[in-house]
Amino acid sequence: MTIDEQLSILRKGTVDLIREEDLRAKLERRARTGKPLRVKLGLDPTAPDIHLGHTVVIRKLKAFQDLGHTVIFLIGDFTGMIGDPSGKNVTRPPLSREEINANAETYKR
């Protein structure tokens, strides 16, 4: 598959993308070396289920995987415990390690 075809697949359904020239360069380097890109997603298990909004980025990860790249899915146990307001004006209440571990188990299913 050509680099242009890969870019077309990866751009589909996106609003923001790293500079296309940078992604093209990474894809070209991958084509030359045969070494797949590593694409990572980290989620904090602050609830027992991922929500519909997560499916957008998970589907994009699947597109990278289908193109032969390596996908790494990180579950942030420590960051989930300390809380991250994510741009909100109130902090998220801290969760215990037990709560985080229980939530993280549901992400693995």
Alpha-carbon distance of 60 to 5, in angstroms, equals: 15
Residue with tokens 């609830």: 47
Query: In terms of domains, do 30 and 42 share one?
Result: no
pLDDT value of position 27: 96
Q: How far apart are CA 4 and CA 80, in angstroms?
A: 38
Q: Are residues 29 and 69 in the same domain?
A: no
Q: What is the pLDDT of residue 88?
A: 61
Q: What is the pLDDT of residue 45?
A: 75
Same domain, 27 and 60: no
Answer yes or no: do 29 and 42 share one domain: no
Torsion of CA 9, 13, 18, 20, to 10 degrees: 50
Total domains present in the chain = 2
| pLDDT higher than threshold 70 for residue 44 | yes
pLDDT for 49 equals 75
One domain for residues 16 and 60: no
pTM for this model (two decimals): 0.72
The pLDDT value recorded for residue 81 is: 65
Q: What CATH number has the domain bearing residue 101? A: 3.40.50.620
Q: Identify the domain containing residue 49 by its residue range.
A: 36-109
Residue 58 sits in the same domain as residue 102:
yes
Q: Say yes or no: 85 and 74 in one domain.
A: yes
